[in-house]
Homo-oligomer: A and B are copies of this chain.
Amino acid sequence: MNIRIRDAGAGDGAALHAIVRELAVHHGHADDFVSSPMDFELFLAGPNPVGGALIATCGDAPAGCAIWHRSFSTFRGRETLYLEDLAVLPQYRRRGIGSELLKAVARLACGRGLPAVTWLVMDWNEEARRLYAAAGAEIESGNSVCRLSGAALERLGS
């Protein structure tokens, strides 16, 4: 096992897309996954990027990734880091890659002088919750995610 974690960059869009697609399927949201590899290239290399990604490789193969973006906490009054996705492909699980990716995200936040990393976890995802609690995260249940999109967004915003 030769796990490495590095910043994702130009050319990594297809790997990120494949890893996040597997995550979407795993969470039962395959139908909501409409992004393309090129979307991830543009996310990584477009002008004024809102975030970035870390990629874990095992040998030369992509094994997992962490995708983050900038955020702002009004309670802290400071920019913070939001972890949009942390995902490890099934065949690479139970090797500590998720923990290593989370550590790399924490290093990234500390290096940028940010006071916090926040993210969401589904209540049913016991394995992920254990990993996050072991890393020292506070976990606050009782939240719902609201999404306004499509025709509802156009109707309200027109």
Q: Which of B76, B84, B152 is within 8 Å of A72, CB to CB?
A: B84
Q: What separation, in Å, do the CA atoms of A69 and B155 have in the docked complex? A: 22
**Identical chains in the assembly:** 2
Within 8 A of B (CB), among A25-77: 29, 32-36, 39-40, 43, 48, 50-51, 67, 69-77
**A103 proximal to B (CB < 8 A):** yes
Chain B residues with CB under 8 Å of A152's CB are 135-137
Using known A-B contacts A72-B69, A146-B121, determine if residue A34 contacts B77 with beta carbons closer than 8 Å.
Answer: yes
Residue from A43, A75, A119 whose CB has the most chain B CB atoms within 10 Å: A75
**A143 proximal to B (CB < 8 A):** yes
B149 x A135 contact (CB < 8 A) = no
B123 x A142 contact (CB < 8 A) = yes
Q: List 19 A-B contacts (CB under 8 A).
A: A17-B77, A32-B75, A34-B75, A36-B77, A39-B78, A50-B71, A74-B84, A82-B82, A109-B153, A110-B153, A110-B158, A115-B150, A116-B153, A120-B143, A135-B152, A136-B153, A137-B147, A138-B148, A140-B146
Residue from A43, A50, A109, A156 whose CB has the most chain B CB atoms within 10 Å: A156
Chain B residues with CB under 8 Å of A92's CB are none
Partner-B contacts on A (CB < 8 A): 16-17, 20, 24, 29, 32-36, 39-40, 43, 48, 50-51, 67, 69-79, 82, 84-85, 102-103, 106-111, 115-124, 129, 132, 135-158
